[in-house]
Amino acid sequence: MQIVLATRNAGKLREVRTILAGLPIGLVALPDSVELPPEGDDYAANAIDKAVAAARATGHLAIADDSGLEVDALGGAPGPFSARYGADDASRIARMLDALEGVADADRGARFVCVAAWATPDGRSGTARGVCEGRILRARSGAGGFGYDPIFAVGVGAAARSMAELAAAEKNAVSHRGRAFRMLAAMLPGITAAR
Ligand code: ITT
């Protein structure tokens, strides 16, 4: 069975391919010709809109991810606006480090949120949500992952690592995306059985 992953983010595509690798599915990238809809302020609505657009355009079951970084010291911002927090990863990270300048370690709590959505060409859809708690570092560390990973730390004390320092499998085991898509994977038999 072919499933389309409705994303333009290469980091997400790579991770979701690995997370779903054991399933009897072919995960295909979104064709260039399909346009994803503009995003609003709600992860689930954004994720469903992306999956629905891809399912309608391709005629295949489609899945999508809307995700973001919620920072306690910023009242939960940027959240669903995380991709719009700057022009590219480097400027988004620089803006975040500036915004948290002078914020004490104890107040640097944050979480990654991911809502994974599925949509069928016949108009059914649903979601699964995953969260990963951590904190914002004072400087970039590590070269793996993508996005905000170099400034987002998981684990405590000597075991603390930025997500960019984790191996791909280690990140997927604890990440918001790993949690959301493993839950979505468990829903797939029911989705494909219903007609
Ligand atoms: P698509 O909509 O095409 O999927 P996008 O990058 O615009 O791609 P989102 O709207 O969901 O995706 O924005 C998510 C933002 O949060 C984006 O800036 C990502 O880099 C960041 N982000 C999401 N998951 C992340 C992760 O696992 N590690 C680091 N940053 C992440």
| Structure confidence at residue 15 as a pLDDT band (50, 70, 90) | very high
pLDDT of residue 55: 98
Mean pLDDT of the chain: 97
Whether 89 is catalytic: no
d(CA 44, CA 117): 7
Mutate to test the pocket of ligand 1, among 5, 7, 12 (most ligand atoms within 8 A of CB): 12
Q: Which residues lie across from 26 on neighbouring strands?
A: 2
What's the pLDDT tens digit per position in 69-88? 999 999 999 999 999 999 99
Q: What is the pTM of this model?
A: 0.97
| Structure confidence at residue 58 as a pLDDT band (50, 70, 90) | very high
| Structure confidence at residue 93 as a pLDDT band (50, 70, 90) | very high
Q: What is the CATH number of the domain that holds 130?
A: 3.90.950.10
pLDDT of residue 195: 57
What's the pLDDT tens digit per position in 134-189? 999 999 999 999 999 999 999 988 899 999 999 999 999 999 999 999 999 999 99
What's the pLDDT tens digit per position in 35-52? 999 999 999 999 999 999
- How many independent structural domains does the chain possess? 1
What residue ranges line ligand 1, CB within 6 angstroms?
A: 7-9, 12, 36, 39, 65-69, 82-83, 112, 145-149, 163, 175, 177
Write down the residue that tokens 């996005």 correspond to: 147
pLDDT of residue 25: 95
Q: Contact 49/27 with Cβ under 8 angstroms?
A: no
In terms of DSSP H, where are the helices of 67-113? 89-99
The residue contributing the CA closest to ligand 1 atom 7 is: 83
Q: Contact 102/94 with Cβ under 8 angstroms?
A: no
Q: If you ran DSSP here, which 8-state letter would residue 155 be given? A: S
For residue 11, give every residue at least 6 positions away whose Cβ sits within 8 Å of its Cβ, in sequence order, or none.
Answer: 145, 146, 147
User: For residue 176, which atom of ligand 1 is closest to its CA?
Assistant: 27
Mutate to test the pocket of ligand 1, among 5, 9, 15 (most ligand atoms within 8 A of CB): 9
Q: Contact 66/43 with Cβ under 8 angstroms?
A: yes
User: For residue 145, which atom of ligand 1 is closest to its CA?
Assistant: 28
pLDDT of residue 48: 98
In terms of DSSP H, where are the helices of 138-175? 168-174
Nearest to 175 by CA among 154, 150, 151, 147: 154
Phi-psi region of 147 (alpha: psi -120 to 50; beta: other; left: phi over 0): left
d(CA 88, CA 193): 40
Nearest to 116 by CA among 186, 34, 26: 186
The residue annotated as part of the active site, out of 32, 41, 49, 66, is 66
Q: How far is the CA of 56 from the centre of ligand 1 (A)?
A: 23
Domain coverage including residue 156: 2-193
| Structure confidence at residue 194 as a pLDDT band (50, 70, 90) | low
